Amino acid sequence: MNFLMQILSYPFAQRAIIVGVLLSVSAALLGVNLVLKRFSMLGDGLSHVSFGAAAVGLACGIAPLQFSIPIVIIAAFLLLRLKQNSKINGDAATAIVSSSALAIGIIVASLTTGMNTDISNYMFGSILALGKTEVVIATISGVIIIVVYTAFYQKIFSCTFDEDFAAVTGVNVKLYNSITAILTAVTVVIGMRIMGALLISSIITFPALSSMRICKHYKCTVIAAAIISVISFLLGILVSFAFDIPTGAAVVVINLVAFLILSLIGRVKQI
């Protein structure tokens, strides 16, 4: 208990917890849709783009966050579009875009600032790096995601389950896909600060996959994913303080443990 109070007394830890919880919920909600629409790798691709953009931003002396967000949003649109009318297969395109962006980022960084702590923080994440801006952006985007999701819950379900049918009943499918792209982009950029570019995609896919082990209803899947995501994040941050390991990595490992336990429960329930 003392340990907990001690953690909570640090302002940077408070910021990390606020941003992390909002991020976990957003990532989980978006993740359910991305996983079900077979866009799981979108988060991964975008995180590399985000890293590349942040490196360029740092080199040019532009605030990396403000520079990354619009670029990653554009990348999200491009990747989703490729998936729709593609001569190049969607996940091949994602692989190309993500490694190219990462490569550009590394080159720019090594030519200018060098591979310093800043760059390493973008790669592997650091809760110390969170400033007020991140808290503000994470809060705004987190609130928007939760509001949009609850307000248009039925339409989002319909779009995810069967896009063409949804379009026929009058749902503006393009609008929802665009909203998903923008929100995923913002979540990835903010998440990169805590989780790191290399690890952020896991908090998008893991909670959705974990909750799908035990849930057979959509509503249950969405709610369980959000809960699993938040609990994994909080446990992850505790573990990272207790053993002095990077937060991002700790959160991912806790998510992995949750996934394994829930898979086991899912198996047992089936028998």
Partner 1 sequence: MNIIEVSNLSAFYESRQVFKNLDFVVKEGDYLCIIGENGSGKTTLMKILLGLGIKHTGTIKLTGFTKREIGWLPQKTQHQKDFPASVKEVVMSGFDGPGFFGFKYSRHQKDLAKKNMKLLDIEGIAEKSFSELSGGQQQKVLLCRALCAAKKVLLLDEAVTGLDDTSSDELYSLIKKLNNQGLAIVMITHDTKRALADAKHILSLSENAHFYGKVTDFNMQSKGGVE
Burial of 64 (0-12, 13-18, 19+ CB in 10 A): buried
171 binds partner 1 (CB under 8 A): yes
Tokens of 51: 């890293």
Instruction: Supply 237's token pair.
Output: 């941050």
For residue 162, which phi and psi values (nearest 5 degrees)?
-160, 95
How big is the CA angle at 63 (ends 58 and 67), to the nearest 5 degrees? Answer: 90
Residue 114 backbone class (left: φ over 0; alpha: ψ -120 to 50; beta: rest): left
Minimum distance of partner 1 from residue 205's CB (angstroms): 14
Judged by beta carbon, residue 122 or residue 206, the one nearer partner 1 is 206
Amino acid at 135: V
Using CA atoms, how far apart are residues 53 and 143, in angstroms rounded to an integer?
25
For partner 1, the binding residue among 1, 111, 114, 164 (CB under 8 A) is 164
> Interacting stretch for partner 1, rule CB under 8 A, among 64-72, 125-133, 166-174, 193-201?
166-174
Q: Does 87 bind partner 1 (CB under 8 A)?
A: no
Q: Which of 19, 80, 166, 258 binds partner 1 (CB under 8 A)?
A: 166
61 counts as binding partner 1 under rule CB under 8 A: no
User: Should residue 226 be labelled a site residue for partner 1 when binding is judged by CB under 8 A?
Assistant: no
- Does 161 contact partner 1 by CB under 8 A? yes
Q: Is 152 in the site for partner 1 (CB under 8 A)?
A: yes
Is the Cβ of residue 138 or residue 166 nearer to partner 1 in the bound state?
166
Give yes or no for residue 217 binding partner 1 (CB under 8 A): yes
Is 218 among the residues that bind partner 1 (CB under 8 A)?
A: yes
* 143 makes contact with partner 1 (CB under 8 A): no
Residues 19-48 that bind partner 1 (CB under 8 A): 36-38
Q: Indicate whether 165 belongs to the interface with partner 1 (CB under 8 A).
A: yes
Asked if residues 67 and 54 have their Cβ atoms less than 8 Å apart, the reply is yes
Find the shortest distance in angstroms from Cβ 214 to partner 1.
10
Question: Can you tell me the distance from the alpha carbon of 189 to that of 184, in angstroms, rounded to the nearest whole number?
Answer: 9
Closest distance to partner 1 from the beta carbon of 68 (Å): 31
255 phi and psi angles, rounded to 5 deg:
-60, -40
Cβ neighbours for 136, distance < 8 A, ≥ 6 positions apart: none
Q: Which residues bind partner 1 (CB under 8 A)?
A: 36-38, 150-155, 157-158, 161-162, 164-171, 212, 215-221
